[in-house]
C-alpha cells in the first residue's frame, strides 16, 4: 500500500536490462556515443520532430530549470500555476538558473491555469517600460500538480495566448506518459502540434532510474541549452547510461504500458474511494495522482496497517474541522497492484 | 588501446550488481532511504569522520561547484591552479554556483600550485577594502590535471597557508582513489588530517556509473549544501541508485583495487614509453594519466591501429616543431589491460 | 498642476546649497570623507541608533535590493505586498541582487500586508525540507504604494510575526518622511522601536537630487552590505555629494517641513476631491499620494489644461465601465502649491 | 600636493552651474526629460554616431559592468589586462552583472594587452565544445591602469583580432578625455573608427560630480542595456541631474580643457621627477597618472609636508630592497596646480 510517490517505486526490470546492455566496452563521454544517438533518434521519431534537439538529464528539476532558462532572460517572468512544481517544489531552481527571473502565478481551478487570468497577467507585464519585469515564457504542467490533466483544447487555449504575445511555452512533463495515455493522443499532439516549444519529458516517475529528456523543437536554442547544462553540472560523462534508460523506456511501448497501468490503478483507487461516503475528492482523478480527504480515524487505521502516503495541505476549500477531516495525496505507479489498492480501500471503507 | 579517458570505461560489474541489489521494492525518495544511509555511514567510517556530512551527486562538476559555493561568498576568490578542472573544464560552473565568484590562478610546476605563489596572491587579495574581491577558498586537485600527485607534505604546505588566513580548503578528488593509492595513505590522511575541509570524492572515473560524494567535515555547512544541491537540480529523487554505486564501490576495497590497477597500467605504459628514445614526458607519471609527446609518424601509426587518446596542448615548453612532435594525454583505467598497453607500446616504439 | 510623481519635482534650494558647500577642495573618495561621516552621524542621532551602519546610494531600487540581499540567502523568500515597489517597479532588482530569491506576495487591503496572511505564508514556507524556498525577510513599504500609511500598531503586528520566526524586517521608506509626519512619531519609533531591522530611508522623492540612506541597526550585516554595494556599482567615488544632500536634508528639520507640506497638499487635494460627487477614492488619503477615479470627461478637461498625472490600473474593484470612469494616481510633493491644487480641483469639479 | 586620485578633486564650477540650470521646475523622471535628450544628442554629435544609444550612470563600475553584461553571455569570457579596473578594482562587478562570466587575463607591457597573447587566448577558449567557457568580449582600458595610453594603432591591433573572431570590444574610458588629448584624436577615431563597440565614457574623474556615459554604437543592444540598468538600480529617477553634468562637461570643450590641464600637470611632474637621479619610472608617463619610485626618505619628507598619494605594489620588477625604495602612484587632475607640482618636486629632489 505504497502511495507516497511514483518516484519511490523501483526501477522497471526492462530499464535495468537496458543499463546492462549499454555497459558494453568503452564509449566516448558526454553524449558522444551510440546509445545517446539512438535514444535521441527514438524521441525525434516518436515526437515526429526530426529537427528537435534532445538532451538527457538526471532530474526533473534540472530539466525544467535548464529548459526555462534557455528560453527567457533574467528580467522576464515565467507564467505558471501556483501549484506548479517549479513554484512549489524546486527550491527556486528556475530563478537560480534563469539569473533571477520571476515566477508569475496564474491561478485556475484544479491545478490548471485559467486562460483569462493568463491573458490578464501578460497584458499587465512589461507594459510600463523597464520598470517591471518583462514578458517571458509560459510553463504548463501536465499531469498537473492537482492530479488533473489538461486536454488538448485546454493546452491550446493557453498556447494560443502565448503565441499572440510571441512567448515560448514550456511543458513540465514529469508525468508526460500519464497525461498522454489519459488523453489518448500522440506525443506530437500533446506538444508541438498544440503549441508547445520545449518539453521536460519525464522518465523517472514512470519506471526509470533517473532520466528526463529535454526536447527543444526549435534547435536554435540548442547550443545555449548545452552550455547551460554543462555549466549547471548536468552533463554526465557516462551519458550513455542516461540514454540507455530512455532507450529501454521507449522500446516496444514500455513507457505507454507502464503509464496505462499506473493510471488504471489510479482509477481503481478513485472508483473505490468514491463509493465510500466519508471520502471527499479535492480534484477529479484523471491520471495516477489523487487528492481526497476522509476522517482522521481512517487515516489512523490506514497508517497503522502500513499505508504510505502524504497528507496534503488542502489550502483552498476547507471541507471540515482540521482535526477531523484530513486530505491525502495518493499516487499510484507502474508498480502498484490491484491487491494493494483493494486492501487500502478496505481499510478506508472500514471507518467510512 | 583506449586511453582517451577513464570516464569512457564501462561500469564495473560489482557496481552493476549494487544497483540491482538496491532495486528492491519501494524506497523513500531524496536520500531518505536505507541505501543512502548505509553508503554515508561507510564513508564516515572510511574517512574516520563520524560527524561529516556526506552527499551524493551524479557529476564531478556538480560536486565541485556545490562544494565550493557552500564555502565562499560571491565576492570572494577561489585559488586554484590554471590547469584545474574547475578553471578549464566546467564551463564556469563554480562561478555560476557561487554567484559570480572569481577563480584566482596560482601557477606552479606539474599542475601543482606553488605555495609561495599562493601566499603571495592571498596577501594581495582583499587588502584594499571593498575594491577587490575578498579572500575565499583554496581548491586543490589530486590527482592533478597534469597527472601528478601532491604528496601529503605538499598538500599540507598549501593547507597551512589557507589555515593561516582562515580560508577553507576544497579537494577536487575526481581521481581521489588514484592519488590515494599512489601515496599509500588513508582517506583521512589525504584529507582532514592534512587540512582539507571539503572533498569531491570521485567514483565515476574509477568504475562507477555516475556518482561523486561530497564530504563536508564541518557539518555547519551541511544545510546550505543541501539547499544548493536541491536548487541546482542535483537532488535525485531515486537517490538510492547513487548511493548503491558508492556502497558497492567501497565494499571490500573494490575502489582501492580498481585504482591500483589503473595506476599500475599507467606505470606500465610510462615504463615502456620511457624506453623509447623519441618520447618526451611533459610531467612525471605518478598515477593513471600521462602527458608525453613523440613524432607525428608514431601518432599516425597508433591511430591507424585504432588507438584512442587526445592530443594535448603542450602550452608550456615547446619541445619541437608543432608538425613534427605532438603531445598526447594517455589515461588508463580499471578496464585497461596489459595487452592493450603492450600493443600500444609496440606501435609507438616502431616509429621511435 | 503636476501630480505625476514626487520625483519629478526639482531639488530643494537648501539641498543645492549643501552640494555647493561640500564642493570644497579635495576629499578622499568612496565615503572616507568628513561630509559622509557627518551625515552618518546625523542619521545615527536622529534614529537614536549609535551603533547603526549607515550608507548612501543614489536610487531607491539600489537601497532596497542591497538591503534585502544582505539579509537573506538566494533560496529564501521575501514577503511583501503585491503592490510593493520591489515587486512591481524594480524590474526584478531584488531577485537579481539576492541571487534568485523569490518574492512571496502577501495580500491585504489598501496596500498593506494582512498579518494573518503573512503568518499563513510563513507557516507554509520551508516546511517541507529543501523542496521549497525557505523563510527569508519581510519587507514593509511605508508610505505604501496605495498611498496609505501603516500605523505603529500595524507595523508591530507584522514585525512581531517576523520576530517569532526570527526573520529580519526591511522597511522600504522611499517616502519615509511622509509616513512619519502622517504618524506624528519619531524615526526610531517608526523603525527599530517597532521591530524594523534595516531601512531604505528616502531622500530623492522629498527634495533631494538623488540619495537614499540605508540604515542597518545591527552592524553585523554592515560589511556584507559594503561589499554588495561596491560589487553592484553603487559605491560612489565622490561620495561626499550623496552625503551632502542628506546632511542638508536633515539639517534644521528641512526633511520634516518638506514632507509636512507635501502631505498637506495631499490633504487639500483629497478634501477637495471628496466634495466632488463623481469622484470615488480607491484608498483613503493619508499622505501625499492619492488614488481616485472620475469620469472620462474630467480627465480630458484636466489634461487639456496641462495637468500631469498617471492613469492607474484599478485592478481590484472595477467601479464603472472602463471607458467612462478612469482612476488616477495623484502625487503631491514639497513643490506643490495650493494654487495648483485649487486650479486642478476646479477643473475636475467642473465636470463632476 | 594632492596626487591621490583624480576622483578626489572637487567638482568643476561649470558642472555645478549645469546642475543649477537643470534644477528648473518639474521634469519627467527616468531620463524622459529635455536635459537628458540634450546631453545624449551632444554625445552622438561629438562621436559622429547619430544612431548610438547613450545612457548615463553614476559610477564607472556600473558603466563597465552594465556595458559588458549587455554584450556577453554568462558562460563567456571577458579578455582584459591583469591590471584592468574591471579585474582589480570592482569587487567582481562584471562577474556579478554578467551572471558569473570569467575575466580572462591577457598580459602585456605597461598595462596594455599584448595582441599575440590576446590571439593565443582567444584561440584557446571555447575550442573544446561546452567544456570551457566560450569566447566573449574584449575590454580595453584607455588611459590604462599603468597610466599609459594605447595609441590608435595599438587599439586597432586588438580590435582587429576581436573582429576576426566576431567578438565585441568594450572601452573602459574612465579617463577617456585624458587618453584622447594625449593622442590628439577625435572621440570617433578613438572608438568606433578604431573598432570599439561600446564605451564607458568617464566624467567623474575629470571634473564632474558623478556621471559616466555608456555609448553603444550598435543600438541593437540598447534595450537589454536599459533593462539591466533598471534591474541594477542604476536608472536614476531624477536623471536630468546626471545629464546636466554631462551637458556642462561637453559644452564649449570644457572636458578637453580639463583633461589637457591634468595631462600637462602630469607631464610637468614627470619632467621634474626624471631629473631627480634617485627616481625610477615604472611605466612611461603619457597622461595624468604616473608610477615611479624613490627612496624611503623622500616619501617620508613628502608625507610630512602633507603630500597625498598612494604607495603602489610594484609587483613586476623589484628595483630595490623593499624598505629602501618605494613606488608611488601619482595622479594629477583638472584641479592640480603648477605650484603644487613644483613644491612636490622640491621635496623629492631634496632627498634625491
Instruction: Identify which of B30, B99, B235 has the shortest CB distance to residue C99.
Output: B99
Q: State the smallest CA–CA distance between residue A64 and chain B in angstroms.
A: 9
Q: A50: phi > 0 → left, psi -120 to 50 → alpha, else beta; which? A: alpha
- Burial label for B124, CB within 10 Å (0-12, 13-18, 19+), is middle
Q: State the smallest CA–CA distance between residue D167 and chain C in angstroms.
A: 25
Query: What is the distance of C-alpha B43 from the center of its chain?
Result: 17
Q: Residue-wise over C276-315: b if at least 16 C-beta within 10 A, else e?
A: bebbbebbebbbbbbbbbbbbebbeebeeeebbbeebebe
Nearest alpha-carbon partner for A235 in A14, A23, A20, A33: A33
Residue of D nearest to B130 (CA): D91
SS (H, E, C) C136-169: EEEEEECCCCCCCCCCHHHHHHHHHHHHHCCCCE
Q: Is there a contact between A54 and A214 (Cβ–Cβ < 8 Å)?
A: yes
Q: Is the dihedral of CA B218, B222, B224, B228 positive or negative?
A: positive
Could you tell me if B91 lies within 8 Å of chain A, comparing CB atoms?
yes
B74·C231 Cβ contact <8 A: yes
Give the whole-angstrom CA distance, residue B98 versus residue A212: 26
pLDDT in tens, A182-191: 999 999 999 9
Could you tell me if D130 lies within 8 Å of chain A, comparing CB atoms?
yes
Q: State the smallest CA–CA distance between residue C170 and chain B in angstroms.
A: 22
C226·B130 Cβ contact <8 A: yes
Which regions of chain C are under pLDDT 50? 316-319
Give the whole-angstrom CA distance, residue B208 versus residue B39: 14
Could you tell me if D89 lies within 8 Å of chain B, comparing CB atoms?
yes
Give the whole-angstrom CA distance, residue D300 versus residue C250: 41
User: Cell numbers of C51, please?
Assistant: 551603533
pLDDT in tens, B304-351: 999 999 988 755 444 455 557 899 999 999 999 999 999 999 999 987
Give the pLDDT score at D313.
Answer: 75
User: How would DSSP label each residue in C320-350?
Assistant: S-TTTEEEEEEE--TT--HHHHHHHHHHHHH
CB-based contacts of B15, cutoff 8 Å, min separation 6: B207, B208, B209, B245, B248, B249
A227·D99 Cβ contact <8 A: no
Give the whole-angstrom CA distance, residue C11 versus residue D23: 6
Cα A290 to Cα A145, A273, B25: the distances in Å are 10, 10, 22
Which regions of chain B are under pLDDT 50? 316-319
Does pLDDT of D320 surpass 70?
A: no
Does pLDDT of D317 surpass 50?
A: no
Give the whole-angstrom CA distance, residue C255 versus residue C181: 10
Does pLDDT of D249 surpass 50?
A: yes
Q: Is there a contact between B292 and B146 (Cβ–Cβ < 8 Å)?
A: no
Could you tell me if B313 lies within 8 Å of chain D, comparing CB atoms?
yes
Omega within 30 of 0 (cis) for the link into B143 = yes
pLDDT in tens, A268-279: 999 999 999 999
pLDDT in tens, D297-315: 999 999 999 999 998 875 5
Q: State the smallest CA–CA distance between residue A157 and chain B in angstroms.
A: 30
Cα B205 to Cα A90, B59, B143, D66, D300: the distances in Å are 29, 10, 12, 41, 60
Give the pLDDT score at A317.
Answer: 42
User: Cell numbers of A232, please?
Assistant: 549547471
How is the beta sheet containing C76-80 ordered, strand by strand?
Answer: C53-57, C212-216, C198-202, C169-173, C134-141, C76-80, C102-105
Give the whole-angstrom CA distance, residue D11 versus residue C21: 11
Give the pLDDT score at A127.
Answer: 82
Give the pLDDT score at B128.
Answer: 84
Q: Is there a contact between B217 and B193 (Cβ–Cβ < 8 Å)?
A: no
Percent of chain A with pLDDT over 90: 92
Using an 8 Å CB-CB cutoff, list chain D residues near A125. none
Q: Is there a contact between A174 and A212 (Cβ–Cβ < 8 Å)?
A: yes
Element (H, E) at A241: helix A240-250
Could you tell me if B312 lies within 8 Å of chain D, comparing CB atoms?
no
Could you tell me the pLDDT band of residue A316, with boundaries at 50, 70 and 90?
very low
Give the pLDDT score at C317.
Answer: 42
Give the pLDDT score at B317.
Answer: 42
Give the whole-angstrom CA distance, residue A135 versus residue A184: 33
Could you tell me if C204 lies within 8 Å of chain D, comparing CB atoms?
yes
At residue D142, φ and ψ (nearest 5 deg) are -145, 120
pLDDT in tens, A83-108: 999 999 999 999 999 999 999 999 99
User: Cell numbers of A49, please?
Assistant: 520532430
DSSP 8-state code for residue B133: P
User: Cell numbers of C167, please?
Assistant: 526573520
Subunits with at least 3 CB pairs below 8 A relative to chain A?
B, C, D
Q: Is the dihedral of CA D86, D88, D92, D93 positive or negative?
A: negative
Using an 8 Å CB-CB cutoff, list chain C residues near A64. none
Q: B-D interface: how many C-beta pairs under 8 angstroms?
A: 65
Residue of A nearest to D237 (CA): A131
Give the pLDDT score at B306.
Answer: 92
Give the pLDDT score at C352.
Answer: 62
Nearest-5° angle of CA C317, CA C319, CA C321?
120
**Best to test chain C binding among D2, D208, D237 (most C CBs inside 10 Å):** D237
Instruction: Identify which of A100, A313, A315 has the shortest CB distance to residue C100.
Output: A100
Q: State the smallest CA–CA distance between residue A111 and chain C in angstroms.
A: 18
Widest distance between CA atoms in chain B: 62
Specify the 3-state DSSP secondary structure of B257: helix
At residue D59, φ and ψ (nearest 5 deg) are -135, 155
Does pLDDT of A162 surpass 60?
A: yes
User: Cell numbers of B220, please?
Assistant: 555547519
Give the pLDDT score at B33.
Answer: 97
D23·C16 Cβ contact <8 A: yes
Q: Residue-wise over A85-107: b if at least 16 C-beta within 10 A, else e?
A: bbbbbbbbbbbbbbbbbbbbbbe
Using an 8 Å CB-CB cutoff, list chain D residues near B96. 74-75, 99-100
**Best to test chain A binding among B92, B95, B224, B237 (most A CBs inside 10 Å):** B237
Using an 8 Å CB-CB cutoff, list chain A residues near C98. 100
**Best to test chain B binding among D91, D97, D125 (most B CBs inside 10 Å):** D91
User: Cell numbers of D351, please?
Assistant: 632627498
Q: State the smallest CA–CA distance between residue B13 and chain A in angstroms.
A: 9
Say how many C-beta atoms besides its own lie within 10 A of residue C226's C-beta: 21
Q: Which domains does chain B have, with CATH numbers?
A: 13-253 (3.40.640.10), 255-351 (3.90.1150.10)
Instruction: Identify which of B102, B124, B313 has the shortest CB distance to residue D124.
Output: B313
At residue C36, φ and ψ (nearest 5 deg) are -60, -45
Give the pLDDT score at D322.
Answer: 53
CB-based contacts of B119, cutoff 8 Å, min separation 6: B161
How is the beta sheet containing B53-57 ordered, strand by strand?
Answer: B53-57, B212-216, B198-202, B169-173, B134-141, B76-80, B102-105
- Burial label for D174, CB within 10 Å (0-12, 13-18, 19+), is buried
Chain mean pLDDT for chain A: 95
Instruction: Identify which of C75, C130, C231 has the shortest CB distance to residue B75.
Output: C231
Could you tell me the pLDDT band of residue A59, with boundaries at 50, 70 and 90?
very high
Give the whole-angstrom CA distance, residue C293 versus residue C271: 14
Least confident stretch, A297-301, B33-37, D63-67, D329-333: A297-301
pLDDT in tens, A210-222: 999 999 999 999 9
Residue of C nearest to D92 (CA): C231
User: How would DSSP label each residue in C290-319?
Assistant: EEEEEEHHHHHHHHHTT-B-EE----S---
Within 92-111 of D, beta carbons closer than 8 Å to A belong to 99
Give the whole-angstrom CA distance, residue B142 versus residue D53: 50
Within 227-256 of A, beta carbons closer than 8 Å to B belong to 227, 230-238, 241
Say how many C-beta atoms besides its own lie within 10 A of residue D50's C-beta: 8
Within 171-200 of D, beta carbons closer than 8 Å to B belong to none
Q: Is there a contact between C30 and C239 (Cβ–Cβ < 8 Å)?
A: yes
In the beta sheet, which residues pair with residue B216?
Answer: B53, B198
B10·A4 Cβ contact <8 A: no
C99·B231 Cβ contact <8 A: no
Using an 8 Å CB-CB cutoff, list chain B residues near D74. 92, 95-96
ipTM: 0.96
Does pLDDT of D161 surpass 90?
A: yes
Give the whole-angstrom CA distance, residue A162 versus residue A135: 10
Give the pLDDT score at C314.
Answer: 54
Give the whole-angstrom CA distance, residue D239 versus residue B330: 61
Within 133-172 of C, beta carbons closer than 8 Å to A belong to 133-134
CB-based contacts of D303, cutoff 8 Å, min separation 6: none
Amino acid at each position: 500500500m505504497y502511495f507516497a510517490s511514483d518516484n519511490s517505486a523501483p526501477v522497471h526490470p526492462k530499464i535495468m536490462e537496458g543499463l546492462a546492455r549499454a555497459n558494453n566496452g568503452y564509449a566516448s563521454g558526454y553524449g558522444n556515443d551510440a546509445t545517446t544517438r539512438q535514444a535521441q533518434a527514438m524521441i525525434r521519431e516518436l515526437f515526429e520532430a526530426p529537427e528537435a534537439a534532445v538532451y538527457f538529464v538526471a532530474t526533473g528539476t534540472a530539466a525544467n530549470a535548464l529548459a526555462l532558462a534557455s528560453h527567457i532572460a533574467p528580467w522576464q517572468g515565467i507564467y505558471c500555476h501556483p501549484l506548479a512544481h517549479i513554484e512549489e517544489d524546486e527550491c527556486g531552481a528556475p530563478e537560480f538558473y534563469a539569473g533571477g527571473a520571476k515566477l508569475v502565478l496564474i491561478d485556475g481551478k484544479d491545478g490548471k491555469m485559467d486562460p483569462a487570468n493568463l491573458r490578464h497577467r501578460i497584458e499587465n507585464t512589461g507594459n510600463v517600460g523597464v520598470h517591471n519585469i518583462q514578458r517571458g515564457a509560459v510553463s504548463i504542467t501536465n499531469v498537473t500538480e492537482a492530479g488533473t490533466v489538461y486536454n488538448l483544447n485546454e493546452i491550446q487555449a493557453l498556447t494560443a495566448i502565448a503565441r499572440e504575445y510571441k512567448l515560448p511555452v514550456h511543458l513540465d512533463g514529469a508525468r508526460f506518459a500519464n497525461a498522454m495515455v489519459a488523453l489518448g493522443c500522440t506525443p506530437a499532439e500533446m506538444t508541438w502540434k498544440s503549441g508547445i516549444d520545449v518539453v521536460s519529458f519525464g522518465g523517472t516517475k514512470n519506471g526509470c532510474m533517473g532520466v528526463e529528456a529535454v526536447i527543444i523543437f526549435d534547435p536554435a536554442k540548442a547550443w545555449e541549452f548545452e552550455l547551460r547544462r554543462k555549466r549547471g553540472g548536468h552533463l554526465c560523462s557516462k551519458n550513455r547510461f542516461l540514454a540507455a534508460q530512455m532507450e529501454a523506456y521507449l522500446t516496444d511501448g514500455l513507457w505507454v504500458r507502464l503509464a496505462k497501468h499506473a493510471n488504471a490503478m489510479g482509477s481503481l483507487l478513485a472508483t473505490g474511494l468514491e463509493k465510500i461516503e466519508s471520502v471527499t475528492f479535492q480534484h477529479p482523478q484523471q491520471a495516477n495522482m489523487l487528492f481526497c480527504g476522509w476522517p482522521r480515524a481512517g487515516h489512523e487505521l490506514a497508517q497503522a496497517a502500513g499505508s504510505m502516503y502524504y497528507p496534503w495541505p488542502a489550502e483552498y476549500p476547507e471541507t471540515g474541522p482540521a482535526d477531523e477531516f484530513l486530505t491525502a495525496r495518493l499516487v499510484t505507479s507502474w508498480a502498484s497492484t490491484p491487491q494493494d489498492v483493494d486492501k487500502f480501500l478496505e481499510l478506508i471503507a472500514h471507518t467510512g
